[in-house]
Amino acid sequence: MRECVQLRWIEQAEARSVREYAGLYRAPSEPGPSIVFTEASASLSGRNWKPNRTANRALLAARSLLRRMSGAAMRRSSSQRVSTSVEHDRVLATLLITDIVDSTRWVTEMGDRDWRSLLNRHNDAIRGQIARFAGREVGNPGDGFISIFDSPTRAIHCAAAITRTIAPLGLTLRSGIHVGEVYLKDRAISGRAVHVAARIASAAIPGEAYVSQTVCDLVAGSGLTFEDRGVHRLRGLPEQIHLYAMCDPAPLPLDG
């Protein structure tokens, strides 16, 4: 009789475990399985006790259901991780990169303290224009800015506004604008498009903003005008890129 009681206790504990795990791995949209243990599942009669076949089949079916549900939950979790990575890490953006011309000469002639004061005014002015045109600052190498926009037209108008704002400080900038996919996470940005935009900025004549052929094609019909600067082979890039100089557009009225 003692052996029979122990067997019944083990069977009850196993049934409770099945119910708990089934509830843990069940998706919110899936109905809960009904797993019921009854004492009628075991017929106890001293030493002549025999397992109830119906109860055994129910437990085996419950174990099989638990394995299937656990596997489905793991597959759903893996799929969600992959889709989240694809959705949030790589985005299409317009990049605007600015650079102060002859910054080393400026700091040498002015000294660290005066240069830092001028650089702070430069930084405040550029950040104000980036915010005005709904851009996002994603980098500040020290003598320039990297920002992204959801529209190439806004990036172009922002570059023009930055040039007008910085002019009273006596500083000269060169800028590069390009459109491409980038990896964006928090405030960090990377990808081939970032390097292309940086090379375009370095190729620009001091005081000008260069844009890629891609940018010109995307803003066709917007009223913006450009001057052809020819085909360039930029350092580190295998293909040649056709560049254009942005003509100063009329100021764009925006709030802020």
Q: Which pLDDT band, with edges at 50, 70 and 90, does 37 fall under?
A: very low
Mean per-residue pLDDT for 54-76? 64
Instruction: Answer for the pair 229, 210: CB distance below 8 angstroms, yes or no.
Output: yes
Per-residue pLDDT tens digits for 20-32: 544 544 444 444 4
Query: What pLDDT was estimated at residue 193?
Result: 92
Q: Note the pTM of the prediction, 2 decimals.
A: 0.64
Instruction: Answer for the pair 243, 210: CB distance below 8 angstroms, yes or no.
Output: yes
Those residues whose C-beta lies under 8 Å from the C-beta of residue 132, and which sit 6 or more positions away, are 158, 161, 254, 256
Closest CA to 61 of 125, 99, 109, 18: 18
Q: How far apart are CA 52 and CA 60, in angstroms?
A: 13
Q: How far apart are CA 65 and CA 12, in angstroms?
A: 18
Query: What pLDDT was estimated at residue 170?
Result: 92
Helix, strand, coil % in the chain, rounded to nearest 5: 50, 25, 25
Query: What pLDDT was estimated at residue 184?
Result: 83
Please report the DSSP string for 213-245 in residue order.
HHHHHHTTTSS--EEEEEEE--TT-SS-EEEEE
Is it the case that residue 152 has pLDDT exceeding 60?
Answer: yes
Per-residue pLDDT tens digits for 72-129: 666 666 655 544 445 558 889 999 999 999 999 999 999 999 999 999 999 999 999 9
Per DSSP, 141 falls in state -
Per DSSP, 151 falls in state -
The residue type of 147 is S
Query: Across the strands, what pairs with 232?
Result: 241
Query: Across the strands, what pairs with 210?
Result: 176, 245
